Amino acid sequence: MQTISVQEVRKALAQEGALFPVALSRRVAGATLKIPVPFIGALYLVSNAQTAHQVLTKHGETTRKAQLLVNVLRSSFGNGIFTSDGAFWKRQRKLMQPTFHHGSLAQYAERMVAHACDMAARWQDRAEVDIDAEMHDLTFGIVLDALFSYQTAYEAEQIRRAMQNLSAGIAAQGRFALLTFLPDWTPLPIFARKRRGVAVVKRLIGQMVAARRAQPTAQRPHDLLTALLEARDSATGETMDDAQVYDELMTLYIAGHETTAVLMGWVWAMLAQNPQAEATLHAELDAVLGGRAPTAADLPQLTYTQRVIKETLRLYPSAWFVMREVTEPFMLEDERVPKGAIIMMLPVATHRDPQYFAEPDAFMPERWQGDFEQRLPRGAYYPFGMGARVCIGNGFAMMEAQLLLATLAQHFRVQFREPPQPTRAIGTLGFAHPVRVRLLRRAVR
């Protein structure tokens, strides 16, 4: 373990940009870094696979979600499965887990593909689009469909605008550390915008929940809202009240929208920069699908498609850090970590560590063939987290990404004017700026 100053971290950020954790990790050969931070205490940056695995598995009961992060999100997302802890979190996880079992996910595949087909039909050869905005629009429609089955165009647009306001507030808090310490009632324009977004979303979702509860059970559509309303604790018979259903819906919105949109943006960027990988993907899609829309049943045959997704998540994990706050002191490597310390696991750095991945900065989907993933050390690859709090929707996200890529890449290539740069904000590892691309129609061979 090595100690560095906040100034050294700032210097690395200025020199290396958003991927500064990779540079820091390589500079110290993967050692854990301790940073004394005024007003916070000790901050530990972890890129070593074994140490990250230890914190997220062995010390799951002696850590919690970092309150600094929770304070930013709770006013918007309440006490959902992402922000809650302890016995309440365990109850919610148990209630929601059956909804995300592999056998329950196939029902959403057809809806995902339908939205992607609609987008492919709208895309025009040689047209220029903002690819990040396009992917956000696509995943927004999919998550609304998965959550609520249907809504009017007016409701959808209201939710879209409200979520943009809410997300702008959260993004500002991610860019400017001082804002993370301020309550949401702070009389600043960005907080007012965030409050407006929360108010609209709460009203609209409240109306949808009330309408669904009024429906006879047999007439309810099969979507995530119905699943949450009907989830019942097998031991106590308890169900969720409206407030908790709202909190979980908001959590699922972010999990099913922002992170997948960010992932898909980087997928297109990686394919554009690596023509051989793009050609291999096209050959697989042509051979397996022959121009037709994919289904969930096709996924086992779309092995290279899956490898493209996995390799993109390795280089640009949407959730590039996992933050925990210590609730009881424990030994971390050679140091006793005090209560209140913040530990920041950095998959973005671990995923590019040369001791785990040959040519760590190269985009090589073929590395995932065979039993490569099984042979990796525990903690070397965790784009969806690990331990008890591994992302509950990881299966949903992987299925969605594979189906969207298979649907769109059959018919289009995406040409970037220049390589996109990752954002420096604390949040998902998206693009720093809007990125215009040219769509190029391709013929199925």
Q: What is the DSSP string of 247-269?
A: HHHHHHHHHHHHHHHHHHHHHHH
Would the pTM of this model clear 0.85, i.e. be above it? yes
Q: Enumerate the H helices of 274-362 as residue ranges.
A: 275-289, 303-315, 347-350
Q: Profile the chain (445 residues) by mean pLDDT over runs of 10 residues.
A: 87 84 91 87 93 94 84 74 85 87 85 96 96 94 86 77 75 65 75 81 86 90 89 85 88 82 96 97 96 96 98 95 93 91 95 96 97 96 93 92 98 93 81 93 87
Q: Report the run of H or E that residue 325 belongs to, with start and end.
A: strand 322-326
Rounded Cα gap, residues 330 and 44, in angstroms: 13
The per-residue pLDDT for 179 is 65
Instruction: Look at the block and give the residue holding tokens 């995902």.
Output: 112
The per-residue pLDDT for 82 is 82
Rounded Cα gap, residues 409 and 415, in angstroms: 12
Q: Give the start-to-end residue ranges of the domains of the chain.
A: 2-150+221-441
Burial-class residue 377 by CB neighbours within 10 Å (0-12, 13-18, 19+).
middle
Specify whether the CB–CB gap between 431 and 421 falls below 8 A. yes
- What phi and psi values does residue 358 have, to the nearest 5 degrees? -65, 145
Where residue 370 falls (left for φ over 0; alpha for ψ -120 to 50; beta otherwise) is left
Spell out the residues 6+ positions from residue 178 whose beta carbon is closer than 8 angstroms to its own: none
Specify whether the CB–CB gap between 186 and 71 falls below 8 A. no
- Distances from the Cα of 376 to the Cα of 151, 307, 312, 360, angstroms: 44, 15, 17, 14
- Tell me how far apart the 2 most distant CA atoms of the chain are, in Å: 61
The per-residue pLDDT for 303 is 98
- Distances from the Cα of 97 to the Cα of 57, 129, 155, angstroms: 19, 38, 29
Nearest by Cα to 337 from 53, 86, 71, 46: 46
Instruction: Tokens for 160, please give them.
Output: 């879209």
Rounded Cα gap, residues 369 and 371, in angstroms: 6
The per-residue pLDDT for 325 is 93
Rounded Cα gap, residues 136 and 288, in angstroms: 27
Q: β-strands 335-337, 342-345: how paired?
A: unpaired
The per-residue pLDDT for 84 is 84
3-state secondary structure of 155: helix
Residue 433: CB atoms within 10 A of its CB come to: 9
The per-residue pLDDT for 139 is 94
Could you give the count of Cα atoms lying within 13 Å of 216 in the half-sphere of its Cβ? 2
The per-residue pLDDT for 175 is 64
The per-residue pLDDT for 107 is 87
Q: β-strands 2-3, 33-37: how paired?
A: parallel
CA-CA-CA-CA dihedral for 30, 343, 74, 422, to nearest 10: -20
The CATH architecture annotation of domain 2-150+221-441 reads: Orthogonal Bundle (1.10)
Nearest by Cα to 193 from 181, 179, 205: 179
